[in-house]
């Protein structure tokens, strides 16, 4: 706790804060990092395996196989979320289960599943896009700024020829 906040506490509150800090169990940082690394890596290996299947069995090239691979990962994440499996993986792995595509799909689908009793618009739609909205806005604004910077620093692409 920063010193400026300690000054606002009474001596009894400060003593309690010190006692609580002593009793708080230590966090296993190394084990948490290892679990996050393993689960994130496993998710990425599964994604790579799916992409390789699209390349070898469906005749896609690597670039064209990326979109269906992402779609399959999203569907797997939603199915695992609906059965409650992805949440258990997330509790054990922590940040490792928040690999961008699957973690985002999990957060949106779990919000939709949780609020489905409130209806499609006010429940599923509103709660699902409460999470997705900031991500979509940030992605759009970031893409606009990057495109603008690209046009400023690389003016050859604007003219066309």
Residue-wise pLDDT for 59-101, tens only, equals 999 999 999 999 999 999 999 999 999 999 999 998 888 887 8
Question: Residue 21 falls within a domain, yes or no?
Answer: no
pTM of the predicted model as reported, rounded to 2 decimal places: 0.70
Q: Note whether residue 36 is domain-resident.
A: yes
Residue 7 has a pLDDT of 65
Q: How many domains does the chain have?
A: 1
Residue 103 placed within a domain? yes
Please provide the DSSP assignment of 25-62 as one string. PPP-HHHHHHHHHHHHHHHHHHHHHHHHHHHHHS---H
Q: Is residue 13 part of a domain?
A: no
Backbone angle region of 10, left / alpha / beta, with phi > 0 → left and psi within -120 to 50 → alpha: beta
């Amino acid at each position: 706790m920063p010193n400026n906040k300690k000054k606002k506490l009474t001596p009894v509150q400060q003593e309690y804060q010190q006692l609580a800090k002593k009793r708080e169990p230590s966090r296993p940082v190394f084990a948490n990092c290892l679990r996050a690394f393993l689960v994130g890596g496993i998710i990425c290996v599964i994604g790579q395996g799916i992409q390789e299947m699209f390349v070898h069995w469906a005749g896609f090239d690597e670039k064209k196989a990326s979109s269906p691979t992402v779609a399959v990962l999203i569907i797997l994440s939603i199915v695992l979320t609906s059965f409650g499996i992805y949440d258990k993986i997330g509790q054990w792995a922590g940040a490792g289960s928040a690999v961008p595509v699957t973690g985002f799909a999990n957060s949106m689908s779990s919000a939709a599943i949780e609020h489905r009793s409130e209806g499609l618009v006010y429940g599923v739609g509103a709660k699902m896009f409460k999470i997705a909205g900031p991500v979509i806005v940030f992605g759009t604004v970031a893409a606009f700024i990057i495109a603008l910077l690209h046009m400023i620093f690389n003016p050859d692409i604007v003219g066309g020829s």
